Amino acid sequence: MKKIFTILASVALIAPVISSCCLDDDRNDNYYYPNMLVTVKSAEDGRCYFQLDDNTTLLPTNLEKSPYKGQVRALANCSKVEGDATPYDQLVKVHWVDSILTKKALKAADLENIDILGIDPVEIVNNWVTVVEDGYLTLQFAALFGNRMVPHTINLVMGVDPENPYLVELRHNAKGDYEMCTQRTGLVAFDISELPDTEGKTVKLTVRYNGYNNVEKTYSFDYCTGGIQPAPEQLSSDVDTSLAIE
């Protein structure tokens, strides 16, 4: 994800999303799909900027204030703008930006019983939006959804293994939504900044979860606190940002 203009060939594999903040009336087919995953932040002076990965910052030329309350992860479509972005790395024009569900990872020690978070099946989708960067674990997930008026919950729990602080658990609670289910996919980002500092070392960050057919599975990332993570393999899968999930 370090190069924002080299993934355009792959973003057409992601389903169109409805923008929560559209900033371009001159519509272009190339603007319809996301071409980056960012953290939307605000500087001390209130100026909105995007964190593309652990080291790359983008300054929108047409978005002075963040459209969101607090810091969130988001899909966006932006194009490069020539000029001096100092103290940021690159100027961009934002065609649209759409926030995704952004949550803090929970701590097992703070929970009386981890099973209250649910143990319903969920799958992690290997895609360019399934990535660890900027202190967040962002996941594309798949699960079975029935009545879409029933909000499911999805959470990440740290501290599930005293001997391995980099083993975390993904928990899905379907809230009894089991009637006439179909598989759908969505996005969620977890703040993992409270994981122990790896002190410059690269470790395996492993997500354990209950997969389909109630089979325990794991999905691992190369993780270094504050370090650049390898770009993920880019595979085809739809992203549905309209799922009832919290």
Q: Is residue 236 part of a domain?
A: no
Buried b (16+ CB within 10 A) or exposed e, 102-128: bbebbeeeeeeebeebbebbbbbbebb
| Model confidence band, residue 180 (pLDDT cutoffs 50, 70, 90) | confident
Output the DSSP codes for 74-100. EEEEEEEE-S--TTSSEEEEEEEEEE-
Q: What local confidence, expressed as pLDDT, does residue 13 receive?
A: 34
How many distinct structural domains can be found in the chain?
2
Structure-block tokens of residue 76: 């966006």
What's 125's domain CATH number? 2.60.40.2370
What's 48's domain CATH number? 2.40.50.500
Amino acid at 196: P
Q: What is the pTM of this model?
A: 0.84
Q: Is residue 241 part of a domain?
A: no
State the Cα–Cα distance between residues 193 and 200, nearest whole angstrom: 15
Residue ending a domain, among 50, 75, 99, is 99
Q: Do 38 and 110 belong together in one domain?
A: no
Residue 235 neighbours by CB distance under 10 Å: 13
Q: What local confidence, expressed as pLDDT, does residue 232 receive?
A: 44
Q: What local confidence, expressed as pLDDT, does residue 31 receive?
A: 78
The answer to whether the CB of 25 falls within 8 A of the CB of 61 is no
Q: Between residues 234 and 186, which one has the greater pLDDT?
A: 186
96: pLDDT strictly greater than 80: yes
Q: Do 71 and 39 belong together in one domain?
A: yes
Q: Do 107 and 218 belong together in one domain?
A: yes
| Model confidence band, residue 4 (pLDDT cutoffs 50, 70, 90) | very low
State the Cα–Cα distance between residues 99 and 82, nearest whole angstrom: 26
Q: What local confidence, expressed as pLDDT, does residue 30 receive?
A: 74
Of 1-15, 27-41, 67-81, 146-160, minimum mean pLDDT range: 1-15
Containing structural domain, residue 197:
102-223
